[in-house]
Amino acid sequence: MVISKNDDVLEIRLKQLMLNHRCPEPGYDGWNCSLLCPENCQDDQCYAVNKTCLSCVAGYIGSKCIEVCETGKYGIDCQQRCSAFCHTSGICHHITGACKDGCKSGWKGAECLEVQDDGKTSTTLYVVVASLVVLVISNVVLVLYVIVLRKHRKKQKKHKTYEQTKKENVFTQDISGYDSVVSRTEENYQELATVTADR
């Protein structure tokens, strides 16, 4: 069978006409609304002539909406994944997502997405959170202490360097004065006893 361009155009026009034509009773299609749509068509809308759905209800896929979602998936167009907390991970109802064989330990609910609180879980959680808060606060205080300590040491080091430079300058001045005294000639030198006796 050879499909021509005219056949493609005819099929497209037929689909457009079918989309614009709606039967008053859902689930039926065709010119006289006598053709029944496949069972799992979304909103009972279909092309009844070729028995294809416009879209499928949750849990089904394919042009005729007769294929069930593959294991591990559910919902509209089988786009959602079953909960990882189902007892046997990945096995859930293809429409609702409810775990077929129950939940893993510590989880509850149809889809096993709620934490099962036996009283111990919340206490343990509070202890863990409180411990983490104390640890974070301790680290912040320690970091601030180290920063202040470094600033203080840097300031002390600057002060010591200033004091040392000041002493060196005083010592140098004293030495320079000493040099001028030493360089005097001995002719001007007199004993203290001689100077007092002259008076």
Distance CA 26, CA 129 (A): 56
Question: Read out DSSP for 42-104?
Answer: GGG-EETTTTEESSB-TTEESTTS-EEPPTTEESGGG-EEPPTTBSSTT-B-TTT--BTT-B-
The three-class DSSP label of residue 191 is coil
pLDDT tens for the chain, residues 1 to 199: 444 556 666 666 655 555 555 676 667 776 677 777 788 888 888 876 777 888 899 999 998 898 999 999 999 999 999 988 888 777 899 999 999 888 888 888 998 888 887 666 666 677 788 889 999 999 999 999 999 988 888 888 777 776 776 666 655 544 555 555 555 555 555 666 665 555 5
Judge whether 46 and 54 are in contact, CB under 8 Å: yes
Cβ atoms within 10 Å, residue 97: 22
pTM of the model: 0.46
Joined tokens for residue 151:
């600033």
Ramachandran angles phi, psi of 110, nearest 5°: -60, -40
